């Protein structure tokens, strides 16, 4: 069951701001964000709502550009739609999207998430992670 989200709930100013951030964000950064939210979109289409409009996420690409959006259904769908459109219009010369570990310098900041509990909450909402995601596990 594919759910349609009312993207008209976003103001034109917010859409323009999101479009600008996506346009500036690197191809590698876009691929990373798109990949991270694939499961979220699949779950949303199946009626599982993992959104939380009290959380925002900030991604920094390897070039220092920021992509900031609220974890609401509308903003996530809008951003991922814009990223997908951007990636579809890019002709890539590389075989692998991340080349020679260019994104190793990229960072993710969670706002206002700044604790392990906050990270667990984000993973639960975005990825459906039950806490066994392996972050921080030592071999």
Q: What is the reported pLDDT for 56?
A: 92
- Dihedral angle sign, alpha carbons of residues 98, 89, 68, 54: negative
Q: Is the pLDDT of residue 106 over 50?
A: yes
pLDDT band at 107 (very low <50, low <70, confident <90, very high): low
**Contact call for residues 125 and 50 (beta carbons, < 8 A):** yes
pTM of the model: 0.62
User: Could you give the maximum distance between any two Cα atoms of the chain, in Å?
Assistant: 48
What's the average model confidence in pLDDT over 88-95? Answer: 63
DSSP secondary structure letters along 88-109 = HT-----SSTTTTTGGGG-EEE
Q: Residue 103 pLDDT more than 50? A: no
What is the total residue count of the chain? 139
Neighbours of 103 (CB within 10 A): 17
Residue 96 has pLDDT above 80, yes or no: no
């Amino acid at each position: 069951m594919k759910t349609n989200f009312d993207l008209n709930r976003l103001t034109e100013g917010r859409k323009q701001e999101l479009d600008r951030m996506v346009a500036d964000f690197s191809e590698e950064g876009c691929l990373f964000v798109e990949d991270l939210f694939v499961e979220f979109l699949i779950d949303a289409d199946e009626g599982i709502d993992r959104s939380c409009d009290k959380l925002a996420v900030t991604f920094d690409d390897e070039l220092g550009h920021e992509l900031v959006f609220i974890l609401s259904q509308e903003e996530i769908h809008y951003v991922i739609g814009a990223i997908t459109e951007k990636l579809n219009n890019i002709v890539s010369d590389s075989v692998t999207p991340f080349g020679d570990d260019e994104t190793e310098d990229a960072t993710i900041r969670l706002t206002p998430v700044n604790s392990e509990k906050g990270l667990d909450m984000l993973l639960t909402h975005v990825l459906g992670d039950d806490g066994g995601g392996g972050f921080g596990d030592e071999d």
